[in-house]
C-alpha cells in the first residue's frame, strides 16, 4: 500500500503562549483535493507553514510521502502558491517565461542555467494553463487573473505531485475565479496532482474538492463534503443556516 502524501499526528503549535494549532491528526492520500477552511485566526496558514518547514518548533509528527518532514529533502515534489502573489515589485522586468522558469531553479546545481528540456517544461505548463500567448509579455502588464495563472505555472513547472495553495482566488473576479477552479480540477483529475487549498470560497470549491477540512485551531471536521452537509453534529456546531451556506453548491 502506498504511503499517504501527507500524514500528521498530534500536531500542536504555538506562538509564545498563544496556542495556534491544538493536537491535530489527519492524512491526505494521493489524488485527494482537500479544501482547507475555517475562520480568520483558525491556524490555516500556520498549518501550511509548518507542513512546508517554514515553522519547525512544533510538537507531534509530520510525514511527507512517508518521510519525516524534518528529514524530507525531495521538495520538487511539492508545489506552493502563496497567498499574496501580487506583492511582487510591479516594475520587476521579467517576462512570463522567465517568471515560470524560476520554478525550476531549485532543482539545479551551480551554475544555474536553463536548457532545452527546461524550455519544453515551461512550454508544456503554459499550454496546459492556456497562457502560451503570454509567454513573452512582461509580468507587470498582465491582469490579476493572468498573473495568478503565471504564478500557478511557476508552482507547477517542476511537475509536483502535491500542490499547496493559500487562498489563490481571493483577488480574482467571479468569472476568473470559476476558470481558475476549473483549471485546478483539471490538474487534479488529469494529472492526479494531490491538492490542499485554503479558501473562503466554500460554495464554489465544493463543486471540485472531494474533501473538506474545517479547522479552528483543532479539527472540527475532516471528510467528504457530502458527509459534512448531512452531519447533525456539524449542524449543531454551526447552526443550520451556516451549514447550509457552506453546503450550498451552485
Going by pLDDT thresholds of 50, 70 and 90, the confidence category of residue 9 is very high
- Between residues 228 and 34, which one has the greater pLDDT? 34
- CB neighbours of residue 86 within 10 Å: 12
Q: Provide mean pLDDT across the span 186-197.
A: 92
Which pLDDT tens digit goes with each residue over 33-83? 999 988 888 999 999 999 999 988 899 999 999 999 999 988 889 998 887
Q: Which residues of 92-114 are buried (b: 16+ CB within 10 A; e: fewer)?
A: eebbbbbbbbebbeeeeeeeeee
Whole-Å CA distances, 188 to 142, 196, 205:
26, 11, 13
Q: Would you say residue 162 has pLDDT above 90?
A: yes
Residue matched to cell numbers 472540527: 220
What is the pLDDT averaged over residues 115-119? Answer: 81
Residue 250 pLDDT > 50: no
The pLDDT of residue 167: 85
More reliable by pLDDT, 201 or 160: 160
Q: Name the pairing type of β-strands 6-15 and 18-28.
A: antiparallel
- Per DSSP bridges, beta strands 211-216 and 218-223 are antiparallel
Q: So what's the pLDDT on residue 130?
A: 85
DSSP for 171-238 reads TS-HHHHHHHHHHHHHHHHHH--EEEEE-S-HHHHTTT-SEEEEEESEEEEEE-HHHHHT-HHHHHHH
Are the CB atoms for 47 and 21 separated by under 8 Å?
yes
Percentage of the residues of the chain whose pLDDT score is greater than 90: 36
Task: Kindly calculate the radius of gyration of the chain based on its CA atoms and give it in whole angstroms.
Answer: 19
pLDDT at 243 over 50: yes
pTM of the entire structure? 0.86
- pLDDT of 60 reads 95
Predicted local confidence at residue 201, as pLDDT: 77
The x, y and z cell numbers of residue 222, run together, are: 475532516
Supply the mean pLDDT for the chain: 85
40-44 own/partner pairs: CB under 8 Å, 24+ apart: 42/215, 42/216, 42/217, 43/13, 43/215, 43/216, 43/217, 44/166, 44/198, 44/215
Ordered structural domains, the chain, with CATH? 6-247 (3.40.50.300)
**Nearest one of 209, 206, 213, 219 to 245, comparing CA atoms:** 206
Query: Does the structure show a pLDDT above 80 at 124?
Result: yes
CA atoms within 13 A on the CB side of 7: 11
On whether the CB atoms of residues 227 and 38 are closer than 8 A, the answer is: no
115 vs 232 pLDDT, higher one: 232
Q: What per-residue confidence (pLDDT) applies to 90?
A: 59
Q: CA 218, 221, 223 angle in degrees (round to 5)?
A: 135
Amino acid at each position: 500500500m502506498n504511503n499517504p502524501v501527507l500524514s500528521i499526528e498530534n500536531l500542536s503549535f504555538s506562538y509564545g503562549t498563544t496556542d495556534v494549532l491544538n493536537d491535530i491528526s489527519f492524512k491526505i492520500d494521493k489524488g485527494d483535493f482537500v479544501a482547507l477552511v475555517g475562520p480568520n485566526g483558525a491556524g490555516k496558514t500556520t498549518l501550511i507553514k509548518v507542513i512546508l518547514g517554514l515553522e519547525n518548533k512544533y510538537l507531534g509528527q509530520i510525514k511527507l510521502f512517508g518521510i519525516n518532514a524534518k528529514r524530507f529533502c525531495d521538495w520538487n515534489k511539492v508545489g506552493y502558491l502563496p497567498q499574496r502573489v501580487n506583492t511582487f515589485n510591479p516594475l520587476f522586468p521579467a517576462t512570463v517565461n522567465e517568471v515560470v522558469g524560476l520554478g525550476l531553479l531549485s532543482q539545479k546545481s551551480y551554475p544555474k542555467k536553463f536548457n532545452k528540456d527546461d524550455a519544453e517544461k515551461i512550454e508544456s505548463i503554459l499550454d496546459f494553463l492556456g497562457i502560451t500567448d503570454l509567454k513573452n509579455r512582461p509580468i507587470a502588464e498582465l491582469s490579476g487573473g493572468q498573473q495568478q495563472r503565471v504564478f500557478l505555472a511557476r508552482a507547477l513547472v517542476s511537475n509536483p505531485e502535491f500542490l499547496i495553495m493559500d487562498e489563490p482566488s481571493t483577488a480574482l473576479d467571479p468569472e476568473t475565479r470559476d476558470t481558475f477552479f476549473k483549471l485546478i480540477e483539471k490538474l487534479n483529475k488529469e494529472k492526479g496532482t494531490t491538492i490542499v487549498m485554503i479558501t473562503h470560497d466554500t460554495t464554489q470549491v465544493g463543486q471540485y474538492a472531494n474533501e473538506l477540512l474545517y479547522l479552528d485551531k483543532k479539527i472540527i471536521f475532516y471528510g467528504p463534503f457530502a458527509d459534512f452537509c448531512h452531519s447533525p453534529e456539524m449542524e449543531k456546531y454551526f447552526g443550520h443556516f451556516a451549514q447550509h451556506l457552506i453546503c450550498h453548491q451552485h
